[in-house]
C-alpha cells in the first residue's frame, strides 16, 4: 500500500506545485493537506456537503492568491457522524496524509478525535457543532461558531420584546446541545418575564411528530423552540404546522440549511446565527459570497461561511508561520493564533479567546419567502 | 381530549405500519425470507412519488409509478439476491446480511440522486383543521385509513378467492404440498414479493406527504414491520396488520403516560413482552422452541 | 503509517473479539442475536466508569465489564430459553432498541448522547500501555476458550441444541443451563471488548452501541463463516479494513466521498453473500454452515 501511494502522490504534487515553488523548496513540493471529517453519508450528509463546499471555496482562494509556498489540498474523510469511523479517519489524516489542520463537525466526531489530535498536536476546527461541551476539548480544538448558550441569550430578548412572546415550549433531542438550550431557556426566559411552559425530548431517530405536537399544543405556547438536527428539524417544523400549531417557530443556527429555508412550513421561522451580512462591502465577505454563488449556483448561508473561515484561517496562520521562517505544524500555528488573536474573516474581524473559541456577535434571522433575512 | 387526539394520530401512524407490516408478513409467510430490505421498497416508492410530483405528473400516475417501482424492487431482490443465495441453502442470516448490503447501496444512491436531507410532497391534504375543540385532523388521516382498509379487504379476497392467492397461503402452510400439486413455488414467491412490496407504496406515499422523506426513512418502518409480524403471529396477515395498527396507536397513546423520548421504546417493549409471554403472537400458531 | 495501522489493528482485534463471541452463540448454539452491541456497550460503560472513577487498570476494567455484561446476559438468555429462530431474532431486536434508549437516557451512568469523555488511557504499574497488546491477548484467550469449549462435551451439547433442542433434551442434556452459560460467556466476552474499546477511544457514547453496530458484528460473523473458529476474525478484519482501504481510492469528488464508499461497501457485502453464502471460510460443500 505505501509504495505506489507515495509515488503517485509525490508525482501529482510535483506537477501541481511546480508553478509555485522556488528550487530551494523543491523537497517540500508536496501540498499542505487539510483534512475534513464530516458526515458524508447517512442522515446527516446534507451538513457534510454544505461544510465541504465552504472549505472548498476557501482553499481555492488560498491557492489562487499564492498565499502559501505550497498549494493546499482538501482530503475528505467520511465520519458518518459516528465515533469509530471518525477515529479511523482522523488517524489516516494525521499519519498518512500528514494533515496538520483538520476540519471537524458533530459532537461525536469532535469528542472522539480530540484526544488523537491533542497527542499529535493537530489543529481541529469546528464550525458546525454548537454544544457547549465542544469548548476546551483540547488546546488544539477550536470553534469558529458561537456555542448554543450564547444563541439562546440572543433570541430570548428578541422573542419577548419584538414578538410579544410570553410562553415558550421546547422540542429537543436530549444531547448536550439540547440540554444546554433547555438550561438556558429555563434561566433566561424568567429574566425577561416569560416562562418555559413545556419541554419535550424526542429520540434522535424519531420520524413521526404528530403525537408530540399534540402534547405541545396542550401547553399553549406562543413560541416553540426546536433544538434538533438535520432532516429531523424539518420534520418537526412540518409536524407542527400540519397539526394545527400556528405559533412562532424558533431555533438555533442548525436552521441555516437549504432543507429548512425551502420548506414552505418554515415560513416565518426565527433562528440565530452569528452576525453575517453577505451583502456587505467588506472585501473578504463579498469575494466569498460572489465566488460561492458562481461556483455552486446558490447563495451562501452561515455554515458555508463558517467552514470557509475554518479553512481560510489555516491560510492566514500558515502564512504567518512561513514568513517567520518556521515549519508549518499544529504547534507553530497555535502559537501564531495566540499571538495574533484577531483575523479578517468572512463577516468581518473574528477574535479568538485563549481556548480557541471565536467570539462573535449574534443576529436573529427570519425565513421570509424562502430567503433568510436578518431581523434583529 | 388529549387522549382522543393521540388516538387519532396513532391511527394514522398505525395505518402506515399496518400496510408495511402486512407486506412484510406476506413475503415472510410465503417464502420464509426475512426481507429486511423491505424498508427500502418503502423508501424507493416514496421517492418515486416525490419525483413524479416534482415533474408535475398527475397524482394517479405518480401512485402507479410508485407502486410499480416498489414491485420491481421486490422482484429484482427475489431474482438477483435471494434466489441465488437460497440455491446454496444459505442460512437465515446470509440472506439478512445480503439484504442489509443492498439497503446501504440503495440508500446512498438515493442520496446522490435526490439530494441529501429532507424532502416532502407539499399538499393541503396533510394540513389539519380543528374538527372539534382541541382536536386537529388532516384529510390525510381518512385517506390513510380508507386506503389501508380497502387494500386489506382486497388482499383478503385475493388470498381466499383467487387460485394464486390460495396457492400463496398454501405455500406458507406447507411448501411440499405445492410441489405435489405441480404448482411452481418459484413463480409464487415472485408473486409474494411483488404484492408484498406493492403494499409498502401507499404507506410510503402517505409518509411523503405527511412526515416527509429522507434516505433513511425506511429503517424505522421496517423494524416496526418485523415487530408487527412477530406480535401478530408469523404467518398471519390479519395479525400483522392488526399488530402494526396497534403498535402505531401504542406509540402515540404512550405519550399520555410517559415522557416523549420513551415513545419509540414502547413498541419494542411490547414486542419483547409478547415474545416472553405470548410467543405465538395474537393469531399465530404456537411455535415455541 | 504505523500509527494508522496500529489503530486499525486495535479496532480489528476488538471487533474480532465481538465477532468471535457472537459466533459462539450463533455458530455453535444457533442463538441468533442482533443485540450483541448492547453487551459491548454495557462493558464499555462499565470499563469506562472504572477507569474514570477508580483506576485506569485495564484488567480491573475488563473484569468489571465482563461481570456486568455477563450478568445482564440473562436478559438475552431468557428469550433464548423460550423461543428460537425468527422469534428470537425479533426478541433480541426489541432488547437492542430498548437498551439503546436506556443508554441515551441514563445520563448519570452513560453520559447520554453526549457520552463519557476523557476516559484515561490504560496504566499498568504506573506506565501507560497501548490497548493493542491487551486486545490481542484477550482475542487469543477467547479464541482458545472457544476452541476448547467447542471440542469438549459442552460444545457437543451446544451443537445438539443447535440442530434439535428436543433431541438434546431427550439425550438428557441440560439444555437450559447450556444455553444460559453459552450466552453468558459470549456476552462477557463482548463486555471485555467494550472495556478495551472505551480505553482505546477515550470517548464513548450510545452511537457506538446501536442496532447498526449489532448488525455489523453479525455481518462479520456471517461473511467470515459462522460456526468456524477463524471465520469471524477474518470477517471482522475485512469489514473493518474495507472502508479504510476504500478511503484510499483517489479522485472521488469530496462531496460524494461518503456515498461512493458506502456503495462499494454495501455491494461487497451483498456480492460476497451471493457468491459465498457460507462465508469466506465456511464449508461450501456442506451447503448449510449454520441454522
Claim to verify: residue A167 and residue A101 sit in the same structural domain = no
Of the ranges A232-241, B182-191, B279-288, C153-162, which is most confident? A232-241
Domain shared by A187 and A167, yes or no = yes
Same domain, A209 and A348: no
Average pLDDT over residues A282-293: 92
Is residue B289 one of the residues assigned to a domain?
no
- pLDDT tens for C95-132 read 999 999 999 989 899 988 888 988 999 998 888 899 99
| pLDDT surpasses 70 at A223 | yes
Contact A263 B118 (CB under 8 A): yes
The model carries a pTM of 0.88
CB-CB: which of A81, A91, A108 is closest to C3?
Answer: A91
Give the residue from A103, A122, A125, A120 showing the smallest Cα distance to A40.
Answer: A103
In Å, how far are A286, A301, A302, B70, C221 from A279, measured between CA atoms?
7, 12, 13, 47, 57
List the 184-223 stretch of B: residues with Cβ below 8 A of C.
223
Which helix (H) or strand (E) element contains residue A344?
strand A342-345
A36 touching C (Cβ < 8 Å):
yes
Domain range spanning residue B69? 10-217
In whole angstroms, what is the distance from residue A128 CA to residue A104 CA?
8
Which residue from C7, C203, C257 is facing A91, i.e. has the nearest CB? C7
Write the residue in C3, C208, C248 that is nearest to A84 by C-beta. Answer: C208
Is residue A8 scored above 80 in pLDDT? no
Residue A250's DSSP bridge partners are A225, A270
Cα distances (angstroms) measured from residue A241 to each of A36, B139, C229: 36, 14, 56
Predicted pLDDT of residue A205: 79
Within 13 A of C98's CA, how many CA atoms are on the CB side? 17
Instruction: Output DSSP code: residue A132.
Output: G
pLDDT at A149: 79
What pLDDT is recorded for position A108? 86
Confidence of residue B165 (pLDDT cuts 50, 70, 90): confident
Residue B270 or residue B76, greater confidence = B76
Tell me the per-residue pLDDT of A126-156, one tens digit each, with 9 for 90 and over. 998 888 888 888 999 999 988 887 889 999 9
- A217 touching B, CB under 8 A? yes
Using alpha carbons only, give the angle A94, A98, A102 rounded to the nearest 5 degrees: 55
Q: Could you tell me which chain B residue has the CA closest to the CA of C163? A: B289
**Is A102 in a helix, a strand, or coil?**
strand
Q: Is A237 helix (H, G, I), strand (E, B) or coil?
A: helix
Count how many domains chain B has. 1
Judge whether B214 and B118 are in contact, CB under 8 Å.
yes
Q: Do A333 and A340 form a contact (C-beta atoms < 8 A)?
A: no
Is the minimum CB–CB distance between C108 and chain A shorter than 8 Å?
A: no
Q: Which of B2, B134, B216 sits opposite A43 (nearest CB)?
A: B216
* Interface contact A175-C250, CB threshold 8 A: no
Interface residue B139 vs chain A (CB under 8 A) = no
Q: What is the pLDDT of residue B269?
A: 86
Q: Which residues of C167-177 are buried (b: 16+ CB within 10 A; e: fewer)?
A: ebeeeebebee
Rg (CA), chain B: 19
Domain membership of residue A182 as a residue range: 148-274+363-374
pLDDT at A301 over 90: no
C239 in contact with A, Cβ within 8 Å: no
Instruction: Give the mutation candidate from A52, A170, A201, A210 for the B interface (greatest B CB count, under 10 A).
Output: A210
Round to whole Å and give the CA distance between B287 and B195: 26
Q: Do A58 and A115 lie in a common domain?
A: yes
One domain, residues A78 and A182: no
Interface of B with A in 237-276 (CB under 8 A): 251-252, 255, 259-261, 263-264
Would the pLDDT of B64 be above 90? yes
The rounded distance, in Å, linking the Cα atoms of B128 and A245 is 9
Which of A59-73, A119-133, B71-85, B226-240 is least confident? B226-240
Asked if pLDDT for residue A280 goes beyond 90, the answer is no
Establish if B241 belongs to a structural domain.
no
pLDDT more than 70, % of chain B = 92
Please name the member of C98, C226, C271 whose beta carbon is closest to the beta carbon of B272: C98
pLDDT of residue C70: 94
Q: Which residue of A has its CA nearest to B217?
A: A207
The answer to whether residues A171 and A252 belong to one domain is: yes
Look at residue B176 in the predicted model and tell me its pLDDT. Answer: 67
Smallest CA–CA distance from A82 into chain C, residue: C207
Domain count, chain A: 2
Tally A–C CB contacts below 8 A: 115
The verdict on A218 touching B (C-beta cutoff 8 Å) is yes
Please tell me the total number of residues recorded for chain A in this structure. 376
Structure confidence at residue A167 (pLDDT) = 95
Question: What confidence tier does B259 reach under pLDDT thresholds 50, 70, 90?
Answer: confident
Number of A–B residue contacts, CB under 8 Å: 108
Find residues 113-152 of chain B whose CB sits inside 8 Å of chain C.
none
Torsion angle of C-alpha atoms C104, C110, C115, C119, degrees rounded to 10: -170
Q: What is the pLDDT of residue A321?
A: 94
pLDDT tens digits, C189-247: 999 999 999 999 999 999 899 998 999 999 999 999 888 899 999 999 998 888 888 88
pLDDT of residue A3: 39
Q: Work out the mean pLDDT of chain C and round it to a whole number.
A: 87
Q: Do B260 and A201 touch (CB under 8 A)?
A: yes
Q: Does the beta carbon of A296 lie under 8 angstroms from any beta carbon of chain B?
A: no
The residue of chain B nearest to residue C81, with distances taken between CA atoms, is B289
User: Which chain C residues have a beta carbon less than 8 Å from that of A232?
Assistant: none
Nearest to B109 by CA among C246, C260, A45, A258: C260
B256 assigned to some structural domain: no
CATH code: domain of residue A201:
3.40.50.2300
Distance from CA of C201 to the nearest CA of A (A): 7
Neighbours of chain A (3+ CB pairs under 8 A): B, C
For C207, the closest of A82, A95, A96 (CB atoms) is A82
C-alpha dihedral, B95 to B98 to B99 to B102, nearest 10°: -160
Residue of B91, B223, B268 with shortest CB distance to C98: B268
> How does the average pLDDT of chain B come out, rounded?
86
Distance CA A44, CA A243 (A): 26
Task: Tell which of C212, C221, C259 to mutate to test the B interface (max B CBs under 10 Å).
Answer: C259
Within 8 A of B229 by CB-CB distance, chain C residues are 90
Tens-place pLDDT, residues B111-154? 888 877 788 888 888 888 888 888 888 899 999 999 999 999 99
Instruction: Inform me whether the pLDDT recorded for B271 exceeds 80.
Output: yes
Flag whether pLDDT at A102 surpasses 90.
Answer: yes
434583529: which residue's cell?
A376
pLDDT at C283: 67
Instruction: Tell me if A244 and B128 make a contact (CB, 8 A cut-off).
Output: yes
Phi/psi at A70 (nearest 5 deg)? Answer: -125, 150
- Per-residue buried b or exposed e for C207-229, using 16+ beta carbons within 10 Å of the residue's own CB: bbbbbbbbbbbbbbbbbbbbbbb
By percentage, how much of chain A surpasses pLDDT 70? 92
Which of the residue ranges A167-171, A308-312, C39-43, C242-246 would you say has the lowest mean pLDDT?
C242-246
Q: Is the pLDDT of residue B163 over 90?
A: no
Measured between CA atoms, the residue of chain B closest to residue A203 is B261
Mean pLDDT of C14-32: 90
Inside any domain, residue B146? yes
Contacts of C278 in chain B (CB under 8 A): 88, 90-91, 94
B97·C82 Cβ contact <8 A: no
Q: CB contact, 8 Å: C247 with chain A?
A: yes
Cell numbers at C158, concatenated: 451446544
Task: Provide the angle, in degrees to the nearest 10, between the axes of the packed helices C175-201 and C36-53.
Answer: 50
What is the rounded average pLDDT of the residues B34-51?
A: 94
Residue contact B94–C222, C-beta within 8 A: yes
User: From CA A118, how far away is CA A139, in angstroms rounded?
Assistant: 7
CB contact under 8 A, A214 and B6: yes
Q: Are residues A298 and A353 in the same domain?
A: yes
How far, CA to CA in Å, does B86 sit from each of A262, B82, B191, C196?
Answer: 46, 6, 17, 38
C82/B101 CB distance under 8 A: no
d(CA A110, CA A128): 10
The 3-class secondary structure across chain B, one letter per residue, is CHHHHHHHHHHHHHHHHHHHHHHHHHHHHHHCCCCCCHHHHHHHHHHHHHHHHHCCCCHHHHHHHHHHHHHHHHHHHHHHHHHHHHHCCCCHHHHHHHHHHHHHHHHHHHHHHHCCCCECCCCHHHCCEEEECCEEECHHHHHHHHHHHHHHHHHHHHHHHCHHHHHHHHHHHCHHHHHHCCCCHHHHHHHHHHHHHHHHHHHHHHHHHCCCECCCHHHHHHHHHHHHHHHHCCCCHHHHHHHHHHHHHHHHHHHHCCCHHHHHHHHHHHHHHHHHHCCCCCCCCCCCC
User: Does pLDDT of A332 surpass 90?
Assistant: yes
A156-160, A359-363, B53-57, C217-221: segment of lowest average pLDDT: A359-363
**How many angstroms separate the CA atoms of C96 and C90, rounded?**
10
Measured CA to CA, the distance from residue A173 to residue B251 in angstroms comes to 18
Is a pLDDT exceeding 80 seen at residue A26? no
Q: Residue A374 phi/psi, 5° resolution?
A: -70, 130
Within a domain: residue B197?
yes
Beta bridge partners of residue A223, listed in sequence order: A168, A248
- Output the pLDDT for position A2: 39
Do A197 and A168 meet the contact criterion of CB atoms below 8 Å apart?
Answer: yes
Any A CB within 8 A of C10 CB: no
| C-alpha cell belonging to residue C30 | 444457533
Taking contacts as CB-CB distances below 8 angstroms, the residues of chain C near B269 are 94, 98
Q: What phi and psi values does residue B249 have, to the nearest 5 degrees? A: -65, -40
Distances from the Cα of A368 to the Cα of A301, B287, C164, angstroms:
15, 59, 67
Q: Is residue A313 located within the same domain as residue A370? A: no
Helix (H, G, I), strand (E, B) or coil at A143: strand
Cβ atoms of B204 and B63 within 8 Å: the answer is: no
CA distances from B188 to B35, B41, B182, B183, B201 (A): 16, 19, 12, 8, 20
CB-nearest to C113 from A1, A84, A204 is: A204
Name chain C contacts of A131, Cβ cutoff 8 Å.
114
- Residue C285 pLDDT more than 60? no
Q: What average pLDDT does range A259-266 have in this prediction? A: 87
Asked if the Cβ–Cβ distance from C204 to A49 is below 8 Å, we say no
Is A212 strand, coil or helix?
helix
Chains that touch B (3 or more CB pairs under 8 A): A, C
Residues A141 and A173 in one domain: no
Q: Is C258's CB within 8 Å of A137's CB?
A: no
Question: B285 — contact with chain C (CB < 8 Å)?
Answer: no
End-to-end CA distance of chain C: 41
**What is the DSSP code string of C45-66?**
HHHHHHHHHS---HHHHHHHHH
A8 phi, psi to nearest 5 deg: -65, -40
Among left, alpha and beta (phi > 0; psi -120 to 50; other), residue B282 is: alpha
C243 and A88 in contact by Cβ < 8 A?
yes
- Is residue B261 predicted with pLDDT exceeding 50? yes
CB A114 within 8 A of CB A141: yes
Planar angle of CA C136, C141, C144, nearest 5 degrees: 125
Minimal C-alpha gap between A4 and chain B (Å): 29
Amino acid at each position: 500500500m505505501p509504495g505506489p501511494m507515495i509515488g503517485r502522490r509525490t508525482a501529482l504534487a510535483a506537477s501541481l506545485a511546480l508553478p509555485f515553488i522556488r528550487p530551494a523548496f523543491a523537497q517540500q513540493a508536496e501540498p499542505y493537506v487539510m483534512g475534513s471529517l464530516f458526515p458524508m453519508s447517512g442522515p446527516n450528509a446534507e451538513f457534510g456537503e454544505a461544510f465541504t463546499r465552504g472549505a472548498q471555496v476557501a482553499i481555492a482562494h488560498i491557492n489562487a492568491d499564492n498565499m502559501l509556498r505550497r498549494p493546499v489540498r482538501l482530503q475528505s474523510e467520511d465520519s458518518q457522524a459516528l465515533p469509530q469511523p471518525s477515529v479511523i479517519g482522523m488517524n489516516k489524516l494525521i499519519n498518512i496524509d500528514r494533515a496538520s489542520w483538520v476540519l471537524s463537525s458533530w459532537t461525536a466526531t469532535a469528542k472522539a478525535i480530540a484526544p488523537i489530535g491533542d497527542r499529535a498536536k493537530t489543529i481541529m476546527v469546528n464550525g458546525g457543532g454548537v454544544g457547549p461541551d465542544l469548548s476546551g476539548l483540547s488546546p488544539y480544538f477550536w470553534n469558529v461558531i458561537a456555542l448554543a448558550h450564547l444563541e439562546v441569550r440572543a433570541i430570548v430578548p428578541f422573542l419577548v420584546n419584538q414578538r410579544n412572546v410570553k410562553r415558550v415550549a421546547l422540542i429537543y433531542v436530549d444531547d448536550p446541545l439540547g440540554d444546554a438550550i433547555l438550561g438556558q431557556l429555563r434561566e433566561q426566559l424568567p429574566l425577561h418575564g416569560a416562562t418555559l411552559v413545556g419541554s419535550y425530548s424526542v429520540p434522535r431517530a424519531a420520524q413521526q411528530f404528530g403525537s408530540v405536537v399534540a402534547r405541545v399544543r396542550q401547553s399553549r405556547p406562543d413560541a416553540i423552540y426546536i433544538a434538533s438536527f438535520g432532516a429531523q428539524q424539518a420534520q418537526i417544523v412540518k409536524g407542527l404546522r400540519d397539526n394545527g400549531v400556528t405559533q412562532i417557530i424558533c431555533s438555533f443556527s442548525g436552521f441555516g440549511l437549504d432543507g429548512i429555508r425551502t420548506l414552505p412550513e418554515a415560513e416565518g421561522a426565527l433562528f440565530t446565527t452569528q452576525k453575517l451580512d453577505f451583502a456587505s462591502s467588506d472585501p473578504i465577505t463579498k469575494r466569498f459570497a460572489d465566488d460561492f454563488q458562481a461556483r455552486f449556483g446558490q447563495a451562501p448561508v452561515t455554515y458555508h461561511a463558517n467552514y470557509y473561515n475554518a479553512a481560510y484561517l489555516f491560510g492566514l496562520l500558515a502564512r504567518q508561520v512561513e514568513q517567520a521562517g518556521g515549519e508549518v505544524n499544529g504547534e507553530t500555528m497555535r502559537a501564531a493564533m495566540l499571538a495574533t488573536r484577531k483575523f479578517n474573516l468572512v463577516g468581518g474581524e473574528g477574535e479568538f479567546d485563549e481556548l480557541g473559541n471565536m467570539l462573535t456577535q449574534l443576529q436573529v434571522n427570519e425565513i421570509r419567502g424562502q430567503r433568510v433575512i436578518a431581523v434583529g | 381530549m388529549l387522549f382522543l387526539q393521540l388516538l387519532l394520530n396513532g391511527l394514522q401512524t398505525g395505518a402506515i405500519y399496518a400496510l408495511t407490516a402486512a407486506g412484510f408478513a406476506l413475503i415472510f409467510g410465503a417464502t420464509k425470507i426475512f426481507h429486511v430490505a423491505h424498508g427500502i421498497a418503502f423508501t424507493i416508492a416514496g421517492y418515486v412519488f416525490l419525483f413524479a410530483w416534482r415533474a408535475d405528473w398527475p397524482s394517479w400516475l405518480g401512485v402507479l409509478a410508485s407502486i410499480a417501482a416498489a414491485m420491481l424492487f421486490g422482484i429484482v431482490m427475489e431474482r438477483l439476491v435471494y434466489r441465488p443465495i437460497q440455491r446454496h441453502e444459505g442460512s437465515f442470516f446470509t440472506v439478512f446480511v445480503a439484504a442489509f448490503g443492498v439497503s446501504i447501496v440503495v440508500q446512498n444512491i438515493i442520496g446522490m440522486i435526490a439530494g441529501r436531507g429532507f424532502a416532502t410532497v407539499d399538499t393541503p391534504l396533510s394540513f389539519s383543521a380543528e374538527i372539534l375543540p382541541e382536536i386537529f385532523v388532516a384529510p390525510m388521516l381518512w385517506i390513510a385509513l380508507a386506503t389501508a382498509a380497502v387494500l386489506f379487504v382486497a388482499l383478503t379476497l385475493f388470498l381466499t378467492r383467487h387460485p394464486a392467492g390460495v396457492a400463496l397461503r398454501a405455500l406458507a402452510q406447507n411448501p411440499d404440498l405445492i410441489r405435489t400439486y405441480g404448482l411452481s413455488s418459484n413463480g409464487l414467491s415472485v408473486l409474494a414479493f411483488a404484492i408484498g412490496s406493492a403494499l409498502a407504496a401507499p404507506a410510503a406515499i402517505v409518509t411523503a406527504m405527511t412526515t416527509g422523506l429522507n434516505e433513511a426513512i425506511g429503517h424505522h418502518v421496517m423494524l416496526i414491520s418485523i415487530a408487527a409480524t412477530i406480535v401478530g403471529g408469523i404467518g398471519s396477515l390479519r395479525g400483522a396488520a392488526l399488530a402494526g395498527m396497534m403498535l402505531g396507536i401504542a406509540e402515540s397513546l404512550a405519550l399520555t403516560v410517559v415522557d416523549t423520548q420513551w415513545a419509540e421504546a414502547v413498541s419494542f417493549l411490547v414486542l419483547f413482552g409478547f415474545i416472553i409471554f405470548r410467543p405465538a403472537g395474537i393469531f399465530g400458531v404456537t411455535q415455541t422452541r | 503509517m504505523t500509527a494508522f495501522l496500529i489503530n486499525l489493528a486495535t479496532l480489528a482485534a476488538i471487533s474480532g473479539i465481538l465477532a468471535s463471541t457472537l459466533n459462539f452463540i450463533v455458530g455453535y448454539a444457533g442463538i441468533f442475536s442482533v443485540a450483541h452491541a448492547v453487551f459491548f456497550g454495557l462493558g464499555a460503560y462499565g470499563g469506562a466508569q472504572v477507569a474514570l472513577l477508580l483506576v485506569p487498570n485495564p484488567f480491573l476494567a475488563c473484569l468489571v465489564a465482563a461481570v456486568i455484561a455477563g450478568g445482564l446476559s440473562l436478559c438475552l438468555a431468557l428469550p433464548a430459553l423460550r423461543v428460537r429462530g425468527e422469534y428470537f431474532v425479533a426478541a433480541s431486536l426489541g432488547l437492542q432498541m430498548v437498551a439503546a434508549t436506556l443508554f441515551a437516557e441514563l445520563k448519570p451512568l452513560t453520559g447520554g448522547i453526549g457520552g463519557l469523555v476523557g476516559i484515561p488511557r490504560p496504566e499498568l504499574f504506573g506506565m501507560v500501555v497501548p490497548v493493542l497488546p491487551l486486545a490481542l491477548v484477550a482475542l487469543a484467550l477467547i479464541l482458545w476458550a472457544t476452541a476448547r469449549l467447542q471440542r469438549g462435551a459442552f460444545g457437543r451439547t451446544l451443537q445438539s441444541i443447535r440442530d434439535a433442542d428436543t433431541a438434546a433434551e431427550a439425550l438428557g442434556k441440560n439444555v437450559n443451563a447450556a444455553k444460559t452459560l453459552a450466552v453468558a460467556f459470549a456476552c462477557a466476552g463482548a463486555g471485555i471488548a467494550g472495556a478495551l474499546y472505551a480505553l482505546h477511544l477515550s470517548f464513548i457514547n450510545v452511537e457506538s452501541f446501536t442496532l447498526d453496530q449489532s448488525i455489523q458484528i453479525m455481518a462479520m460473523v456471517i461473511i467470515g463463516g459462522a460456526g468456524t473458529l477463524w471465520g469471524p476474525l477474518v470477517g471482522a478484519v475485512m469489514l473493518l479494513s474495507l472502508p479504510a482501504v476504500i478511503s484510499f481510492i483517489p479522485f472521488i469528488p469530496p462531496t460524494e466521498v461518503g456515498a461512493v464508499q458506502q456503495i462499494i461497501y454495501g455491494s461487497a457485502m451483498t456480492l460476497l453473500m451471493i457468491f459465498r453464502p457460507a462465508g469466506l471460510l465456511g464449508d461450501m460443500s456442506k451447503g448449510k454452515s449454520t441454522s
